[in-house]
Amino acid sequence: MRFGGPWTEEKLDILEAYLDAYTTALKNQPFKLIYVDAFAGAGQIERRDDKGDTIGFLRGSTERAIRIQDKPFDELIFIEKDAKRCAELAKLRHRYHDRNITVERGDANRVLRDLRRDWRTCRGVLFLDPFSIEVEWSTIKRVASLNSLDIWILFPVSAVMRMLPALRQPDEVSAEWANRLTSVFGDESWRDLYQDDPQQTLFGEHRSMRERGVDGFLNIYKKNLDEVFGDRFLRKSRRLVTATRSPLFEFMFCVGNPRGIGPATSIAKHILERM
Ligand SMILES: C[S@@+](CC[C@H](N)C(=O)[O-])C[C@H]1O[C@@H](n2cnc3c(N)ncnc32)[C@H](O)[C@@H]1O
């Protein structure tokens, strides 16, 4: 894996701080603690200088979760589509052979749909860290229904923005992209972004255009999360941006079990505000 920029470290530091506090908070509870990394990567992230030479490595999300100390996770599940990265994850599992680690090669949505545990006795955290728009809404709904896994999700605002050009009609978005967007949003609510443009074209037609920033479609996605999770969805989130401050991802949090809303949201909120 290659280092994307300071935002890579920012999301991992937030995740790690949460995992640390979360496991400590549940330390004396009778639950089996599970960590699921659905877009697991290769274990390490390579840093390169301007010339392309390797200058070091950063621990990825998987190894950070393995190394949580105070109350380590009882089980760790790493899902990854890419064969080479799975081979790296297998080496990581070998290095920590005394830990209960599973590496599943495949599509995260499929593996999460088929994941079976006794959810009444398990609690855990799911990290959804895709490159782009790979997380399907049906996956979010399925995980929400388990009432067991807190979710940290990176919503790819820049990828969605590229798919929703500002000066087009919603019907001009290609059928393939429209289907992808519908599978990400869970419905066709993304089409509501387009409003009639008050200016007419040269031919006297009214075109529609969408709101230019990322907030419009992000608010639609947040509203959909709100409908599924209710109070389990934390309204506060973190925008991850490039060095030139272009938005890349929105980092958001949802609570697994309704009884954990208080402690989980206050830990997550505290971390998002302080880090
Ligand atoms: C942003 S990286 C994850 C980085 C990782 N969290 C870390 O800290 O090292 C996204 C990963 O998701 C994998 N991926 C992409 N699409 C996938 C899918 N549909 N199912 C599972 N993994 C997928 C990619 O191969 C890539 O390794």
Give tens-digit pLDDT for 125-171. 999 999 999 999 999 999 999 999 999 999 999 999 888 877 667 67
- What whole-number distance in Å separates Cα of residue 155 and Cα of residue 146? 21
Closest C-alpha to ligand 1, atom 19: 107
Closest C-alpha to ligand 1, atom 25: 82
- Residue 262's CB is within 10 A of a number of other CB atoms, namely 10
pLDDT of res. 191: 85
Which amino acid appears at position 150 of this protein? D
Closest C-alpha to ligand 1, atom 9: 60
Beta bridge partners of 126: 36, 151
- What whole-number distance in Å separates Cα of residue 148 and Cα of residue 94? 28
- What whole-number distance in Å separates Cα of residue 83 and Cα of residue 81? 7
Q: Is 186 in the pocket of ligand 1 (CB under 6 A)?
A: no
Which of 81, 115, 132 is the best mutation target for the ligand 1 pocket, counting ligand atoms within 8 Å of the beta carbon and taking the most? 81
Nearest-atom number in ligand 1 for the CA of 41 is 27
pLDDT of res. 20: 98
* 6-274, CATH topology level: Rossmann fold (3.40.50)
Buried b / exposed e across 24-47, counting CB within 10 Å, b at 16+?
Answer: eebeeeeeebbbbbbbbbbbbbee
Question: Which positions of the chain have pLDDT values less than 70?
Answer: 167-168, 170, 196-208
pLDDT of res. 114: 96
CA dihedral 231, 13, 64, 90 (to 10 degrees): 90
Which of 12, 37, 105, 131 is the best mutation target for the ligand 1 pocket, counting ligand atoms within 8 Å of the beta carbon and taking the most? 131
- H-type alpha helices, 149-201: 157-163, 175-185
Tokens 């728009």 belong to residue? 133
- Are 151 and 128 within 8 A, CB to CB? yes
**Tokens, residue 33:** 């603690």
Query: 166: closest CA among 125, 206, 203, 208?
Result: 208
* Sign of CA pseudo-dihedral 72, 85, 91, 13: negative
- What whole-number distance in Å separates Cα of residue 256 and Cα of residue 207? 43
Q: Is 134 in the pocket of ligand 1 (CB under 6 A)?
A: yes
pLDDT of res. 109: 98
Domain boundaries, the chain: 6-274
pLDDT of res. 142: 98
pLDDT of res. 266: 97
* Reported pTM: 0.95
pLDDT of res. 5: 86
pLDDT of res. 165: 74
Q: Give every strand in the sheet of 75-80, ordered side by side.
A: 101-105, 75-80, 32-37, 122-128, 149-155, 247-254, 238-241
Q: Indicate the length of the chain as a whole number.
A: 275
- What whole-number distance in Å separates Cα of residue 119 and Cα of residue 125? 12
pLDDT of res. 199: 65
